[in-house]
């Protein structure tokens, strides 16, 4: 199964891709997470990406295309993968179509209204150690500031500040929304209502995967 999850910031791509990968036994490839790890480790990639990410802008296409081309050619992607956060421009989608291990990809696109996106992003917390995601209102940790799974410290992403959230939503509308059209024209797109309870949405995703494969 080679699946792309498309949707605006906060639409649940990370939350759902973790579940999909567990259920279908394929690796999750999150470009946002690859960049955040590089930033934490202060690598040259991290230094380049940080300025763009903290300003709510996209990292330049070629940087991210090279990363994905290398990542999906690895052995653990032989039976498929879930792309969370890529492609994000039509240029990235076109580049993906030319990659050796990308034939047969299909796309699920999440629909979530803007008020809900802002609510989700402004109270998101993530575990520094294992990456588990929380929401202070919808899915809070049992102990404040600590991960239920591993006890690690929870943090708020730098790009989840209100002004950066607004910028990211605008960038999504201008640069990423056209990617849906690209896959729709190819007949490789299913739209899923991303509003409501996480388990209910996962059920809709399972159904969409059945229909698309
Ligand atoms: P990235 O990390 O990909 O961020 P994003 O697309 O903005 O998406 P988010 O991670 O913010 O949201 P999500 O949809 O995963 O939602 P989540 O499940 O966490 O990218 C970050 C940056 O990196 C970009 O801005 C860009 O600069 C750069 N970048 C990355 N990829 C790139 C690329 N290909 N090209 C160029 N630049 C790139 O959910 C959010 C919150 O809501 C959580 O708290 C969660 O618990 C909660 N939640 C989830 N589902 C529900 C639900 N159903 N009900 C209630 N709460 C829910």
Read off the tokens for 12: 């649940």
Residue nearest atom 42 in ligand 1 by C-alpha distance: 120
- Closest-lying ligand 1 atom to the alpha carbon of residue 126: 44
Cα–Cα distance between 204 and 186 in angstroms, integer? Answer: 21
DSSP state of 172: I
Residue nearest atom 12 in ligand 1 by C-alpha distance: 10
Residue nearest atom 5 in ligand 1 by C-alpha distance: 9
- Cis before 87 (ω within 30): yes
Region 112-134: mean pLDDT is 92
- Closest-lying ligand 1 atom to the alpha carbon of residue 7: 14
- Closest-lying ligand 1 atom to the alpha carbon of residue 125: 44
The residues lining ligand 1, judged by C-beta closer than 6 Å to any ligand atom, are 7, 9-15, 31-32, 35, 52-53, 57-59, 64, 85-86, 88, 92, 120-121, 124, 133-135, 138-139, 159, 168, 198, 201
Question: Is it the case that residue 56 has pLDDT exceeding 90?
Answer: yes
Helix (H/G/I), strand (E/B), else coil: 196: coil
Residue (of 117, 73, 65) closest to 91 by Cα position: 65
**Is residue 3 within 8 Å of 80, Cβ to Cβ?**
yes
Label the pairing between strands 124-127 and 81-84.
Answer: unpaired
Place of tokens 């990423």: 176
Catalytic residues: 13, 88, 124, 157, 168
How far apart are the CA of 165 and the centre of ligand 1, in A?
Answer: 10
pTM: 0.94
User: What is the per-residue pLDDT for 35?
Assistant: 95
174 — pLDDT class (breaks 50, 70, 90) = very high
212 — pLDDT class (breaks 50, 70, 90) = confident
How far CA 83 is from CA of 139, 143, 155, in Å, comes to: 24, 31, 24
How far apart are the CA of 30 and the centre of ligand 1, in A?
Answer: 9
Residue (of 85, 106, 76) closest to 31 by Cα position: 85
100 — pLDDT class (breaks 50, 70, 90) = confident
């Amino acid at each position: 199964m080679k699946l792309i999850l498309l949707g605006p910031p906060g639409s649940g791509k990370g939350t759902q891709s973790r579940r999909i990968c567990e259920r279908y036994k394929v690796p999750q490839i999150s470009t946002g997470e690859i960049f955040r790890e590089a930033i934490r480790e202060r690598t040259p990639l991290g230094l380049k990406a940080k300025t763009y990410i903290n300003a709510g802008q996209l990292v330049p296409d070629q940087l991210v295309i090279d990363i994905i081309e290398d990542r999906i050619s690895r052995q653990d992607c032989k039976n498929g993968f879930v792309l969370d956060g890529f492609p994000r421009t039509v240029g990235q989608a076109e580049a993906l179509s030319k990659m050796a291990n990308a034939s047969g990809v299909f796309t699920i696109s999440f629909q979530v209204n803007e008020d809900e996106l802002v609510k989700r992003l402004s109270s998101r917390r993530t575990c520094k150690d294992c990456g588990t995601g929380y929401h202070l209102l919808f899915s809070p940790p049992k102990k404040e500031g600590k991960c239920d799974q591993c006890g690690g410290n929870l943090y708020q992403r730098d790009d989840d500040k209100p002004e950066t959230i607004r910028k990211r939503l605008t960038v999504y509308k201008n640069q990423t929304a056209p990617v849906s059209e690209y896959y729709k024209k190819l007949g490789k797109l299913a739209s899923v209502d991303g509003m409501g309870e996480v388990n209910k949405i996962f059920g809709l995703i399972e159904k969409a995967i059945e229909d698309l494969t």
